[in-house]
Amino acid sequence: MLTDYFLNHGFSFFASGWTQFAGGFFVSFMIMLMFGRAFIRAMRNIQKKGQPISENVPESHRQKAGTPTMGGILVIVAILVGALLFMPLSNPTGWIALAALVMFGGLGFVDDYKKVSSQSKKASNGLSPMTRLLVEGVFVIILAYLINKTMPPYIPEYSLAIGAGIILPLGLLYYVFAYFVICGGANATNITDGLDGMLAKLYMPVLVVLVVALYGATRIGFMDTVMFLPMANGLYGVLGAAFGAVLGFLWYNSKPASIFMGDVGSLALGGFMGTVAMLLKSELIMGIAAGMMVLILLSSFIQTMYFKTTRKLTGTGRRVFLRAPLHHHFEELGWTETKIVERFFILSILFSGLALVLLKFA
């Protein structure tokens, strides 16, 4: 909005992607700081009992009962305002990324609302996994179609890019691939959001990698491993706003958390992350950068499948981990919540560092 206005009036300074990034970051971060406390009070008054504490978490989590949830609502609002002010409105890539944010955020909102508003045991668990996966599948079909339409003519339709030199046409399998990238991202961030401050700290290094990939995709010759995607210029303000909002949320979510992200935020950020990676043709790089979140997601999958398989074969379900997801396993080993978050944060930085090396030299 502001970018379009100033460019139309001769202020070429706003044509810079980094100006858009900085503007989006500043606005969203300030929204989080300025309205965070009032939002937390409002959520506490509305929800009364706060986020229900699952029976499948360590006993130490009982002390968090009553903490309000759905902080992701403010995160989404901050991203939308910051992005819309500084992204070029005529560029479709920014709109697609924001559409993913709102779609997955809306799904998460329904899930959270069922948890905090109903007293029944079934509703307290939110939407069923099957319902969520089906709705996410519909979102992916829409997003994948739109993403494909933003690609320049020299990139084949429905294709996977491995670096800048290898293009694999996928045909209809492109939608299957998109499901794993976008829904995998959404569910990885959702499961990662289990300890105070952890999702924000593991998410920001991935954003750094996506920003570098964005710069490479909009600069010919800067990186031989990234496709040149001129339309990706519309993502600078969006990614800046996302970075500012997540950092601002950490201000209130660091231990002891004053508010939780909720599914409305974690699903939104994950769907957004996967969508941006596909817009940049950097899906594999994102998977490496988000390696810590991928491991957390896999730990839950492995635990569930192993338990069901051993129960079917032996009559007694067995577990690989003391408790899943992975962070709860380390809690059972006696690690403090702060130690787990900080060590996972370090590992996330290392995964992102590896992704940056591969992005530049692989």
Q: Per-domain residue ranges for the chain?
A: 2-361
Q: Which of 220, 208, 238, 236 is nearest to 356 (CA)?
A: 208
The yes-or-no verdict on residue 7 having pLDDT over 80 is no
Give the residue among 136, 42, 39, 113 at the shortest CA–CA distance from 78: 39
Amino acid in the structure at residue 82: G
- Report the alpha-carbon distance of residue 266 to residue 278 in Å, rounded: 19
Specify the range with the lowest mean pLDDT, choosing from 53-62, 90-99, 164-173, 317-326: 53-62
- pLDDT at position 326 is 94
Average pLDDT over residues 260-289: 97
| Per-residue tokens: 206 | 């991935």
Instruction: Give me the torsion for CA of 77, 78, 80, 82, rounded to 10°.
Output: 160
Residue 287 token pair: 């998977």
pLDDT for 4 equals: 60
Q: Looking at residues 121-140, what average pLDDT do you find?
A: 83
Compute the CA torsion angle 207, 282, 268, 241 (nearest 10 deg).
40
Whole-structure pTM value: 0.92
Does residue 194 sit in helix, strand or coil? coil
pLDDT score of 198: 97
Task: Determine the pLDDT at residue 115.
Answer: 86
Average pLDDT over residues 45-64: 70
* Mean pLDDT, residues 315-334 taken together: 92
Closest C-alpha to 285, from 208, 200, 190:
208
Q: Please report how the helices 17-47 and 198-217 are oriented relative to each other, as an axis angle in degrees rounded to 10.
A: 160
In the predicted structure, residue 284 carries a pLDDT above the cut 80:
yes
Q: How much is the pLDDT for 9?
A: 46
Q: pLDDT at position 310, please?
A: 93
Residue 223 — pLDDT band, cuts 50, 70, 90? confident
pLDDT reading at 131 higher than 50:
yes
Mean pLDDT of 235-260: 97
Nearest to 248 by CA among 196, 200, 280, 209: 200
| pLDDT category of residue 49 using cuts at 50, 70 and 90 | confident
Banded model confidence at residue 297, pLDDT cuts 50, 70, 90: very high
